[in-house]
């Protein structure tokens, strides 16, 4: 009897304890309102959003991995030297923007339904990219930041002004350090990527802004490019760990809890899924894909050593002559002035010699670049695998407060592209195709195939009023990306090489 009574008491206590613990609400089924905080946002990027060249090549750029346009594709890109890099210390800058008109009334997220812009606004969707690389010898530093802004009108109610908008700003920043090894044949890079999400309430009439929610997280990335000198192929790969952000402890769980129309349950995490990108590039034709990069400081080292020896020799001669003058009781001060005047003239001649050698080397490097054969056919291929996110929805689903699960399974995106200089030294064309998987199981249409086009057209030389090297030739570039319920375009101005 006592054992039975104790068992009943324990069962009752366990039942009371279970009742006292708050139940963890699950994410509702697709199509139902989000009524819990226990979910995440999947920040998977489907369409290729990058430079005109990367878009034109369908994103199959991990094996090329050069310039600021390669930073988001391969962490080794900051240390990959291009043939026209003719200085020990070099830099590269990039800027890109996608206008909202190119996304209007399209299914940007490939969710199976139209992505609607807020009525009466022109900045519902904005994509801004800034990048910069600094190279010094075999080392390279890269910083890239991509900003995405999504805005949807809030439903009107007695508690909400009709001009209010809910705006989500997502940024992903890459900080990278890379180095070339084995005479530039192997480049290895690593770094961190930092993801942030900030949600604000903005009013178009009063231009007021209220910060509602923010979260930040970081992950790691590593990549490589194998490019044997004077060979016509490259192999590249990049691995990025997932980024999961967590809101601050003082972040609210629900926005507008007293407004049933606009009540918003904030997520407990935001996730950028891990991804693995492997690619191959093969170039046909007489133009070399991997010409050996010449470091001017190394090439000038022999001249600099000779001039340094001359400086040491002058110092030795000065000591010897002054000692000899002192021994014979001559005028040491007069001898010192005469020697300093003579040696200053010799030092000036050495400086002229060094400047002359630098100019000759620069001219030689530019001559070699000009004499490179222009015609080529560059073939590229890659595959990108992206990881899963648990109990997550897309950005659009989050802003609309309606469940549409995203990222339940691993995604695969094969990519193929070709580039050629159709009119040597005047026009380059590129085209490609890639498969964009859908992250939404409820999307019955599934993934979609993108077709891309791009070009570089040579313009006239212009030194930008002395800001760039004399004889710098400019180019205009463009790209198109089309798929089912998607169309994007971009243009850019750059330097022709």
Each residue of 318-365: pLDDT tens digit? Answer: 999 888 888 988 888 888 899 889 899 999 999 999 899 888 888 888
pLDDT at 7 over 60: no
What are 389's two structure tokens? 């996110």
Per domain, the residue ranges of the chain are: 40-291+376-495, 297-371
Each residue of 264-287: pLDDT tens digit? Answer: 888 888 899 999 999 999 999 999
Long-range CB contacts (within 8 A, 24+) of 237-240: 237/62, 237/74, 237/276, 237/277, 237/278, 237/279, 238/62, 238/73, 238/74, 238/75, 238/76, 238/275, 238/276, 238/277, 239/274, 239/275, 239/276, 239/277, 240/193, 240/274, 240/275, 240/276
Q: pLDDT-derived band of residue 125, with 50, 70 and 90 as boundaries? A: low
Which pairing describes strands 40-42 and 89-98: parallel, antiparallel, or unpaired?
Answer: unpaired
Point out which residues pair with 432 in neighbouring strands.
417, 452
Is domain 40-291+376-495 annotated with CATH 2.40.160? yes
Q: Within 10 A of 63 (CB to CB), how many other CB atoms are there?
A: 25
What mean pLDDT is reported for the chain?
Answer: 85
pLDDT at 416 over 90: yes
Per-residue model confidence (pLDDT) at position 163: 58
pLDDT at 6 over 80: no
- Most distant pair of Cα atoms in the chain: their distance: 125
pTM for the complete prediction?
0.82
CB 150 within 8 A of CB 399: yes
What's CA 194's distance to the chain center, in Å? 11
Per-residue model confidence (pLDDT) at position 98: 64
What is the DSSP secondary-structure string of 409-435? Answer: S-EEEEEEEEEEEEETTTEEEEEEEEE
pLDDT at 244 over 60: yes
């Amino acid at each position: 009897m006592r054992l039975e009574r104790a068992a009943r008491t324990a069962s009752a206590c366990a039942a009371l304890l279970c009742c006292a613990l708050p139940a963890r609400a699950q994410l509702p089924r697709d199509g139902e309102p989000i009524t819990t905080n226990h979910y995440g946002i999947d920040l998977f990027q489907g369409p290729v959003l990058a430079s005109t060249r990367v878009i034109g090549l369908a994103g199959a750029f991990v094996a090329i991995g050069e310039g600021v346009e390669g930073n988001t594709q391969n962490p080794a890109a900051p240390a990959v030297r291009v043939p026209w890099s003719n200085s020990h210390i070099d830099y590269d800058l990039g800027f890109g923007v996608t206008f909202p008109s190119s996304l209007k009334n399209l299914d940007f997220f490939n969710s199976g339904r139209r992505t609607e812009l807020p009525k009466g606004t022109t900045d519902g969707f904005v994509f801004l990219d800034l990048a910069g690389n600094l190279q010094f010898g075999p080392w390279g530093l890269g910083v890239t930041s991509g900003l995405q802004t999504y805005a949807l009108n809030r439903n009107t109610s007695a508690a909400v002004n009709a001009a209010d908008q809910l705006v989500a700003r997502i940024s992903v920043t890459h900080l990278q350090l890379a180095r070339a090894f084995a005479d530039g044949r192997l480049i290895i890079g690593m770094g961190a990527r930092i993801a942030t999400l900030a949600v604000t309430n903005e009013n178009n009439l009063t231009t007021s802004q209220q910060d509602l929610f923010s979260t930040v997280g970081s992950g790691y990335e590593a990549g490589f490019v194998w490019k044997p000198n004077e060979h016509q192929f490259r192999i590249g790969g990049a691995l990025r760990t997932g980024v999961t952000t967590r809101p601050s402890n003082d972040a609210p769980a629900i926005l507008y809890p007293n407004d049933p129309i606009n009540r918003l349950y904030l997520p407990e995490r935001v996730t950028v899924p891990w991804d693995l990108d492997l690619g191959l590039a093969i170039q046909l034709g007489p133009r070399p894909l991997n010409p050996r990069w010449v470091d001017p400081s190394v090439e000038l080292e022999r001249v600099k050593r000779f001039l340094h020896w001359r400086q040491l020799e002058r110092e030795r001669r000065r000591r010897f002559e002054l000692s000899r003058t002192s021994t014979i009781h001559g005028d040491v001060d007069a001898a010192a002035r005469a020697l300093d005047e003579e040696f200053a003239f010799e030092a000036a001649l050495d400086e002229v010699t060094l400047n002359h050698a630098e100019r000759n080397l620069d001219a030689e490097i530019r001559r070699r670049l000009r004499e490179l054969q222009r015609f080529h056919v560059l073939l590229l291929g890659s595959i990108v695998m992206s990881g899963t996110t648990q109990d997550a929805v897309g950005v659009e689903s989050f802003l609309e407060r309606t469940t549409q699960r995203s990222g339940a399974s691993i995604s695969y995106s094969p990519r193929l592209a070709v580039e050629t200089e159709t009119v040597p030294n005047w026009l380059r064309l590129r085209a490609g195709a890639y498969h964009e998987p859908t992250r939404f199981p409820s999307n019955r249409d599934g993934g979609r195939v993108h077709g891309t086009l791009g070009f570089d057209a040579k313009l006239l030389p212009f030194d930008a009023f002395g800001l760039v090297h004399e004889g710098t030739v400019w180019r205009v570039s463009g790209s198109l990306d089309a798929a089912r319920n998607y169309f994007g375009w971009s243009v850019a101005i750059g330097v022709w090489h």
